[in-house]
Amino acid sequence: MTTTRLAAGRRSADGLTREEVAEHQRRRILLAMADTVADKGFAATTVGDVIARASVSRATFYEQFADKQECFLAAFDAAARQVIATVGAAVPPRPPDPGAFDAVIGAYLDALLEAPQFARVFLVDISALGGEGVARRAAGQQRFAAAVAQIFGARTASDRFACEALVSAIAGLVTARVAAGDLDGLRALRRPIVELAARLFPRS
């Protein structure tokens, strides 16, 4: 913490602690980064664009982030946490429960539809960071595949591979619609994805 910040617990004129103000500013910066990258792409986005949209100073930005890339990755991590939390809440407490897959996919699509600018960061724009971006997205898909494997009670290597393939197919379908800004098309994916899963994991 720099000397320009108020001591912990001390309150500003509007009744917020310095830490609360900083957290609010951070959220505004992350949202501004997501919005700007959605409009211009990561390469064309500048710190100046982000701070203008967030209505914060350059000094405030650099108190939070070392550079544009660190801010962008923080926006990705925020989007990933939100999606993972939403999907995790829909996973049944006592898997396997194949019937729960419908609710999980519904929760996943709803999370993307609720914040399409963060959906772009999470699915599309992260690839602009090359290997690091691909690795972050792949790690997210692996967590999703693990949740799907729980739902369907995948035990064999073949079943686990089917879960990975299903998640890869979902990612491709969803990313194409998010990249095109086709929110209606994104919403319409729920039923065909559930039907695909039913063919891969038929109930005995």
Q: Is the pLDDT of residue 6 over 80?
A: no
**Least confident residue range of 119-133, 164-178, 188-202:** 119-133
User: What's at 27, amino acid-wise?
Assistant: R
- pLDDT attached to residue 81: 87
- pLDDT attached to residue 64: 95
Answer whether 182's CB lies under 8 Å from 194's CB. Answer: no
Angle between helices 157-180 and 190-200 (to 10 degrees): 160
- pLDDT tens-digit readout, 34-80: 999 988 999 999 999 999 999 999 999 999 999 999 999 999 988 88
Torsion of CA 87, 90, 96, 99, to 10 degrees: -110
Among 72-76, 151-155, 191-195, which range has the highest average pLDDT? 191-195
Q: Is the pLDDT of residue 120 over 50?
A: yes
Q: Given pLDDT bands bounded at 50, 70 and 90, which one contains residue 203?
A: confident
Name the DSSP letter for residue 15.
S
* Cα 84 to Cα 81: distance, rounded to the nearest angstrom: 5
Q: pTM of the entire structure?
A: 0.80
Alpha helices in the chain (DSSP H): 18-40, 47-54, 58-64, 68-90, 101-114, 116-123, 131-152, 157-180, 183-187, 190-200
CA 31 to chain centre: 12
- Residue 17 bridge partners (DSSP): 11
